[in-house]
Amino acid sequence: MRKMADNKIKGGEAEELDEFMATIITLEEDLEQNVQLFTEAVQSACRRTFQNSTTRKNSKKKPVPWWTDNLTLLRKRVNACRLYQRTKNDEVLREKRKGKYAEEKRMYQAIIKKEKLNSWKEYCNVEASINSWSQVYKLAAGKTRANSIMTTLRKPDGSETSIQKNNERTARLSLHRG
């Protein structure tokens, strides 16, 4: 099963995997081993499918929307120039490298400023197409909220449904129809 889970599933192979898993579940009595194998197969498929994000656990700063790969390269270049300009023995060479560092830093800061401005313009254009003042007002007033998830529905008689009762009812109905 691991071998099948690690291979990429094409067209009819998904049906073969489904049949294979169905026979394993019906023939073998060790449910825990079946659950473990199935979990490994799902996790393997997820690792192949989804991109792994590398975020720092200790980072308190949020990522900024205007940051680009080009800025990352420029930051590394500026930091290298900053370290490279610290020559101890040759004052002439040190001044030359110091000037190059200052020029690289000015260019880097100008590009950051340009990227921030472009990002803000893009954000404002997108929000303006939706509603010109709603998002700006919410941001200024600090009233932005995450979308709420509806967990119950109100019936015509005024009572509310619950997810568990709906799931039980759906399962009963599907078993009776099948």
Q: Report which of residues 170 and 119 the model is more confident about.
A: 119
How large a percentage of the chain has pLDDT more than 90?
20
Looking at residue 140, its pLDDT comes to 78
Spell out the long-range contacts of 39-46 with Cβ–Cβ below 8 A and sequence spacing 24 or more.
Answer: 40/2, 40/5, 41/1, 41/2, 41/4, 41/5, 44/2, 44/5, 44/6, 45/5
* pLDDT higher than threshold 60 for residue 1: no
Alpha-carbon distance of 21 to 33, in angstroms, equals: 12
Q: Quick one: pLDDT at residue 133?
A: 67
Total-model pTM: 0.42
Predicted local confidence at residue 142, as pLDDT: 74
**Which pLDDT belongs to residue 37?**
77
pLDDT in tens, 37-63: 778 877 887 777 877 766 555 566 677
Residue 91's pLDDT is 87
Q: Is the pLDDT of residue 93 over 80?
A: yes
Q: Which has the higher per-residue pLDDT, 14 or 84?
A: 84
Q: Is the pLDDT of residue 122 over 80?
A: yes
pLDDT of residue 6: 45
**Residue 128's pLDDT is what?**
65
Contact of 17 with 9, CB cutoff 8 Å: yes
pLDDT of residue 103: 95
- Domain range annotation of the chain: 2-49, 69-141
In this prediction, residues 111-129 reach a mean pLDDT of: 85
pLDDT of residue 34: 75
Residue 108 or residue 21, greater confidence: 108
Spatial contact of 45 and 26, defined as CB atoms under 8 Å apart: no
- pLDDT bin (cut points 50, 70, 90) of residue 154 is low
